[in-house]
Amino acid sequence: DQQVKQNSPSLSVQEGRISILNCDYTNSMFDYFLWYKKYPAEGPTFLISISSIKDKNEDGRFTVFLNKSAKHLSLHIVPSQPGDSAVYFCAASGGGNTPLVFGKGTRLSVIA
């Protein structure tokens, strides 16, 4: 049973527009959430994170929003650039001795 779900396998956005990637989770014990970005033939790299005590975290063009009551988080990229084209993984953890649980990923294509 998938505890972290990314229901959109792919997303296409025009350059300059906003990209919104969504993630849902089922485990209410999760309190730390991360987004990873993966280019072809490379390992995933950390992008941005948020803890459950916040509802928003921003880093440049990237903003993550957390809605705990809905068990939902989203990653906004504004403005989108062709270099943002990659697979984005959402991950969650409950802290303590529990490792990160990843979603299946969403492939973002930013079209020039």
Partner 1 sequence: DAGVIQSPRHEVTEMGQEVTLRCKPISGHNSLFWYRQTMMRGLELLIYFNNNVPIDDSGMPEDRFSAKMPNASFSTLKIQPSEPRDSAVYFCASSLELWGELFFGEGSRLTVL
Query: 23 or 110: whose CB is closer to partner 1?
Result: 23
Which of 15, 20, 22, 32 touches partner 1 (CB under 8 A)? 32
Neighbours of 13 (CB within 10 A): 19
34 near partner 1 (CB under 8 A): yes
Count CA atoms within 13 Å of residue 14 on its CB side: 1
101 near partner 1 (CB under 8 A): yes
Which of 1, 43, 60, 83 touches partner 1 (CB under 8 A)? 43
Residues constituting the chain: 112
79 near partner 1 (CB under 8 A): no
Which of 18, 46, 82, 111 touches partner 1 (CB under 8 A)? 46
Burial of 72 (0-12, 13-18, 19+ CB in 10 A): middle
Q: What CA–CA distance (Å, rounded) separates 85 from 56?
A: 23
- For binding to partner 1 (CB under 8 A), which residues are involved? 6, 32, 34, 36, 41-46, 49, 89, 91, 93-105
